[in-house]
Structure 1
Amino acid sequence: MNLTTKLTLGAFAGGALLVIAVLPAEYGIDPTGLGETFGLDALSTKPITIAQFDGDLSFNVGDYDPTAERIDQSVQGLIHLEDAPFHSEVIDIQIEDYGEVEYKFVMPADTTFVYSWQVLEAQGDGVYYDFHGHPSSDDAVNFPEGFEMAYARGEGLTQSGSFTAPFAGYHGFYFMNIEEGPITVRLSISGYWDESKEMYRAINGEVVTNEAF
């Protein structure tokens, strides 16, 4: 078979493939009817109709209705806008043998952070932790005497979660080392707070740091 014959047969085969297979499968065009016979027309791309929005979008804040089929306005409580970008930090908290540390974040009410802490290279039970908050000294008169709100307590090696401050004040973590020897608790946190600092530290019951709230 000479070269001209080969090229002619190749062109014929390519054209047949285009008519029988490609057109029905890709474009829904089936001049021979074989596309329908072999089910190739079902593979064709169908036009997508985009429904036009026919409602009036309102930006008035409304109450959340979990039974609503659609929401056409902003919903109070589902979004809280801030004046500044969020913070993002990784804080290594060194805790001595028989040590205790309290690390707090000063937060306005309704602000949020997401967090994850873990005891690095733990050999035992990790830490006793107490995640809690209380008002500042200036706001304490608006709360019961000695008011403190607990969010999570227990023992472990790690915890992750999100938190929204129920009131303005100091919110954060107390860790007690229940390992043998000094440890490091790595706290990764992103969100909104005015400042953060170590508020309390003790070693074997002896207070080293005790910041006023």
Structure 2
Amino acid sequence: MYNSNIPSQQELPSTGKLIKSTIIAAVAAGILLVAVVLPAEYGIDPTGIGKSIGLTKMGEIKVSLAQELANETAVKIPNTEAAEELIQVSKVDAQPATSALSHEMKVTLAPDEGTEIKVAMSKESKVQYKWWTDGGKANFDTHADSKKLNINYHSYNKGSKQKSEGTLVAAFDGSHGWFWRNRTPKTMIITLIVNGDYTDIKHFK
């Protein structure tokens, strides 16, 4: 009963027919690749068929878009690095060109002797200072002058103290500092410490 469904030997394709069918399929696939796939995907048209039916143009557009995308990706990387380098250079340039100076000086004054120490400062620059004697009070005068601006004397404050400290803000470009006089009957040592935005320090005896 089941043998009636099995094809006879005559109905089965011969080996030659199978080989022929395989060859025809391979040739058809090759023709399809050359005539359709290559023009449509890569813009390659060896037969001219793709151009006649518009496939070659489509392939050329795809290739062009792919090249543009690759070029844009390659350009973005160096541009990003250049921007980061520019930011780093700007940060370096923003740093101050000079650093603050610092000095400690000691002067010895005999009774009734005076002395002066000044620092060279630009207008509105600041210097932190601290001075003290080893004993009694000293008469002092914190003042400034400027040869460039023809200013002979500018007073900040004066008095008589054993020590003083604070911040000196320059009123103009010039020399700014302290004059001391020992009004005691004994020899006196004065110590001065300065730190800040000045370019030079001088002791005038």
Q: For residue 106 of structure 1, report the CA deviation from its aligned partner.
A: 1.1
Deviations 1:156-186 (A, max 9, x none): 1000100111100010000000122211111
Moved more, 150-159 or 81-90: 81-90
Q: Which of 107, 131, 151 in structure 1 is aligned with 2:156?
A: 151
Please give the TM-score of this superposition, normalised by the length of structure 2: 0.51
1:87 correspondence with 2:92: no
Deviations 1:55-108 (A, max 9, x none): xxxxxxxxxxxxxxxxxxxxxxxxxx8421111121112212221001111111
For residue 139 of structure 1, what is the aligned residue in structure 2?
Answer: 149
| Structure 2 residue identity aligned to 1:100 | G
What TM-score does the superposition give when structure 1 sets the normalisation length?
0.49
- Answer yes or no: is 1:191 the counterpart of 2:196: yes
Runs of 4+ in 1 over 4 A off after TM superposition: none
Letter in 2 for 1:114: Q
Number of the residue aligned with 1:163 = 168
Residue 97 to residue 82, structure 1, CA distance change in 2 (3 Å): farther
Q: Structure 1 or 2: larger helix share?
A: 2
Match of 2:108, SS state, is strand
CA-atom RMSD in angstroms: 1.5
Paired with 1:135 and 1:82, the residues of 2 have a C-alpha distance of: 25
Determine if the alignment matches structure 1 residue 102 to structure 2 residue 107: no
Residues 101, 199 of structure 2: 8 Å contact kept: no
CA distance in 2, matches of 1:196, 1:82: 21
SS of residue paired to 2:111:
coil
**Which residue is 1:118 aligned to?**
132
1:175 aligns to 2:180 (yes or no): yes
Secondary structure, in 3 states, of the residue corresponding to 2:124? coil
Return the alpha-carbon distance in structure 1 between the equivalents of residues 153 and 149 of structure 2.
Answer: 12
Provide the identity percentage.
Answer: 19
Distance 1:82 1:133, change over 3 A: farther
Count of equivalent residues: 111
